[in-house]
Structure 1
Amino acid sequence: MRWLPRLLSHAAAAGRASAARTSSHVKGGSHSNGFTSGGGGGGGPAVPREWLRKLWAEELRNQKEAARRWGVGAAGNVGGGGGAGGSLGAFASSGEATPQVGRVRAGEAAGEAPARSYQYDGRNLKPVEAKLAPLLARANLVIARDIEWANIMFAFEQESRYIIMDPLFPQSPVGFIREKSNVIFRQMLRSRRPFVAEITDAMGNEIFTVRRPFWWINSSIYAEVDGKEIGVVHRRWHLWRRIYDLYLGNRQFAVVENPGFWNWTFTLIDEDDNVLAQVDRNWRGIGFELFTDAGQYAIRFGDEGQSRKFGLASNIEELHVVRQLTLPERAVALALAVSLDSDYFSRRGGWGLPFLIATE
């Protein structure tokens, strides 16, 4: 309402000028060709109706120009731009744009992933997609597993913990993965144990979960949002190849056919052999690989709209995909990364304690 004081000041000035011109024609509070701004008391100055109409139209034009300058012209055109409600809404939006711009710039300076690194517009998403977007609407993700010292030293299986990072801003985690499982099942079943892993944002708010039941020959892992299953990854048995089928609901949208052995790249392809995404197991060094389970995975969804390359992103090759995966499909791809880590890259016992005993 910053326009109201200016409108009143203009009206008062015009009223005083108009009163001086019409003083010779006004007697006993009677008027012609106008109205009294102060009511029917006869003591207020007269303001012409046509002048107020012009002043109001000028104020609306100023508001629209201000809205266009702040890039909120769409909000200012509500109702065709002819009504006061739409114009005032645009002016309110333009007034709020300044702190919003300040917050975005401050976030970039603090090392947080900026809004333009996202690949989805959050205004037109369904409820499930809107919940997944803050984490999964990025071109790339890096998932790093924490070191489990009890497993290294005493072969005691701990609950797995992962950190999710945006490669553009690796110093600020964007999410976490926390396993929840029974301590006895972890020691007895090891990598075949059933568990539920909670995927949260950086503040600890749950985004979705992955559920992995006990398996004997072929493993499966389910992605769930608010307790409702949205997709599943089924492992298909093969003597040496690593084959996974990815489903969204009852529809298979991708398959992974890794040749096995020392190949650590898992490419998601569609029925026409077109690339959709890729999960890479990164080499972290001889110490990490021999003595720990602290693996690191890069999930690449494609680099559309991602022109900058710094941080961990400078080490991630560009991936050209036939189409962008939807957000629920990306959740299933992240579940695949968790399943890969459990199936192939988790140690079956400790290294540290036997090594220390042997050297004494």
Structure 2
Amino acid sequence: MKNPKVSLQIDSNEFIWDKNEGLFTFDGASALLFWDSAIELFFRTIEEISGSDVSMTVFEATGFRMGHLVSNYYQDRFDILEVIEQYKDIYRNAGWGNVEIIYFSLEEKKVIIRLKNSWEHRIFRLMDREQSGVLLPSHWAGVFSGLLKENMWYKKKKIQVMGHDYDEIEITVSSTTASSNMHKLAREKEQQRICELENKVEERTAQLTSLVKDLSSPVIPVLDGILVIPLIGRFTEGRFEELIEKVLYEFSRRQASHLLIDLTGMNQFDEFTIHGLERLIQAISLLGGECTLVGVSPSLSIQFIKSEANLNTLTSFSTLQHGIQFALEQNGLEIVKKKKRNTL
């Protein structure tokens, strides 16, 4: 019976295929083999779902954590200098491209690495990208963060996809980490979402404000020459300015002579509203018109009396019906009830 396990020794690295179990191990740890095209599809799918900025942060965090894991695994088998010496063979034999550590200083805690034909470079070339990857640079930052017990991050010094013969990465102690980058991205996304919500609120507020303007205090024609304006709710300076402008425009356009100001919807008046009402009445009188207050409740009457407003001499009625009858009389009109016809 043929041996169900096939092993291969390359330098100091051992590869074992267990055909019965369908397992593959690299230096005693379970591993996987993928085509470059499969990894390319993996990258494209993440970018399609997450977007370029999110996917790059994901790749950085993944690469860093993978590197940290690798450092822990090999540091248990060799000391730091031996591990660094072994890395060239380890990554080359795993199909990660040629790796050369051209500078290492334990005192400076600085490493310079050159990568040629790395799998990430191959993937980006398949994707027709004119940019370098971030997974392998962050991976090496994770490797040396684990080995040196420091927070370390990378800088790209040279990029193979941009025409250089290799990628050159400098790893140094840094306050930047994969976690901080994820938190930064989360804050940016949160701020972006907040801005989007604020824009929607502003847009909706503008729509509602426009609707309120259209529905609030409409100028209603009753008969020729007679208009009614109901006052509803609380007034601000801006709202009263719009009200006066609207009333004067309609009063002039319709060539009206009488304006009934309906206060039925008003529960109380402050000094500002009373002053605004005075201005409206004065403006109508300048156009040769006359104003009458209707819907005046006992409580509003008391407020008028207590105020310093000059409204006491103004004609007023408790109901709109009485005010309309008065306005008709002032215009020489009356409403006559139609007699019923006798039927045979």
TM-score normalized by the length of structure 1: 0.25
Higher relative CO (Cα under 8 Å, sequence separation at least 6) belongs to 1
Larger Rg: 2
Q: Which has the higher helix share?
A: 2
TM-score normalized by the length of structure 2: 0.26
